[in-house]
């Protein structure tokens, strides 16, 4: 048994200090980034915010809406199995499957800009071997792999063939892994440490989970994330999968009882590590996206970053005492 008593921080534990700036307007800020990936050698240009591959959020309608902003959608995993062509072929699509989906990903790889393997626990030898296999079968594709939260495993996945590593265990609003298992890592520190490890090898990371406001997305980018993935912030819109009942919509984690019942994943050894909540109906996602992007642009003006790429270099984090937690809705 070991105890690491180094201070580790979540997004809510910090603020960003403003700095003198010569910028005149939010319109001076460019949020687009161009990434060139280590193994595939491919390039991608766009706003690096991603809709999570969750049932209620990763829909064709969400993809159409976010593509107008040059943002990425990760289709819900059941589309890979049931209807991989539902999204058409897209520059802003990232299809992720499980370890057993490698051959399906290979067959349909040309439909998506990014493909990858997405598991709750990215620390198993089996998962590393699966990343190697996917790289061997798809040598020219940009591959995403996760989830992990430590620098050593980030490096191992990149060396195994991943271009982008997905970072986050337990920070999501409908994830209960930290409560059920005691496993996790404060998200801000995870992003900082994994980004440093990935960039040292020429790789990239996605900060996955823990964002409840545009300010949290800003902190993810400021900590070094190349992409930020959100789920709950995009829930409750017309583009989501679900009905509006009494002014609310259902939003659930992919390890929740709702997801297990929908996809038949129930078994005697797998417990629930997610929950279902009710979120207010919020109409078209376009207005929410504009509000998010406005917040990111505004943050850049506060620290003098004319480009999103420069944000992390312009950032000084300040530790704060913050016990307030934002929730999306009541459990159902």
Q: Which of 138, 175, 300, 314 is catalytic?
A: 175
φ and ψ at residue 331, rounded to 5 degrees? -70, 150
Alpha-carbon distance 195 to 180, whole Å?
A: 27
First-to-last alpha carbon distance for the chain, in angstroms, is 38
Both tokens of 43, joined, read: 């390039």
Alpha-carbon distance 70 to 59, whole Å?
A: 16
Say if residues 62 and 49 touch (Cβ distance below 8 Å): no
What is the H or E stretch that residue 239 is in?
none
Residue 175 known to be catalytic: yes
Is the alpha carbon torsion for 293, 295, 299, 301 positive or negative? positive
Of 254, 279, 316, give the one whose Cα is nearest residue 97. Answer: 254
**Strands, E, within the chain: which ranges?**
14-16, 33-36, 43-46, 49-51, 72-73, 90-97, 112-118, 142-148, 164-167, 204-208, 227-230, 248-252, 276-280, 317-319
Q: Please tell me whether residue 269 adopts helix, strand or coil conformation.
A: coil
Alpha-carbon distance 277 to 326, whole Å?
A: 13
Residue 328 burial (CB count, 10 A): 17
Say if residues 215 and 230 touch (Cβ distance below 8 Å): no
In this structure, the chain runs to a length of: 332
CA distances from 279 to 59, 100, 248, 257, 260 (A): 17, 33, 5, 17, 20
Q: Which residues are part of the catalytic machinery?
A: 175
């Amino acid at each position: 048994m070991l105890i690491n008593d180094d201070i580790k921080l979540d997004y809510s534990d910090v603020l960003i200090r403003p700095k003198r700036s010569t910028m005149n307007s939010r319109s001076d800020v460019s949020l687009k980034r161009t990434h060139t990936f280590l193994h595939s050698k491919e390039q991608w240009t766009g706003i690096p915010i991603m809709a999570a591959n969750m049932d209620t959020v990763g829909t064709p309608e969400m993809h159409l809406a976010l593509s107008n902003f040059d943002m990425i959608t990760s289709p819900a995993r059941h589309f890979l199995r049931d209807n991989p062509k539902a999204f058409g072929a897209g520059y802003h699509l990232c299809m992720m499957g499980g370890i057993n989906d490698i051959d399906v990903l290979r067959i349909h790889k040309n439909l998506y800009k990014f493909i990858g393997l997405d598991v709750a626990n990215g620390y198993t030898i089996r998962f590393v071997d699966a990343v190697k296999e996917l790289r061997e079968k798809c040598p020219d594709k940009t591959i995403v792999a996760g989830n992990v939260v430590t620098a050593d495993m980030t490096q191992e996945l990149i060396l195994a063939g991943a271009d982008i590593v997905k970072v986050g265990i337990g920070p999501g609003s409908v994830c209960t892994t930290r409560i059920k298992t005691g496993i996790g890592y404060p998200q801000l520190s995870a992003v900082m440490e994994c980004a440093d490890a990935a960039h040292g090898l020429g790789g990239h990371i996605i900060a996955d989970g823990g964002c409840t406001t545009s300010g949290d997305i800003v902190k993810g980018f400021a900590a070094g994330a190349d992409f930020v993935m959100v789920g709950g912030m995009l829930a409750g819109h017309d583009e989501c999968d679900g009905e509006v009942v009494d002014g609310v919509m259902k939003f659930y984690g992919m390890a929740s009882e709702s997801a297990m019942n929908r996809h038949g994943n129930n078994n005697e050894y797998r417990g629930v590590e997610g929950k279902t909540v009710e979120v207010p109906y919020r109409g078209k996602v376009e207005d929410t996206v504009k509000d998010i992007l406005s917040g990111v642009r505004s943050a850049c003006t506060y620290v003098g970053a004319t480009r999103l790429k420069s944000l992390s270099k312009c950032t000084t984090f300040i530790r704060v005492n913050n016990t307030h937690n934002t929730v999306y809705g009541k459990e159902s």
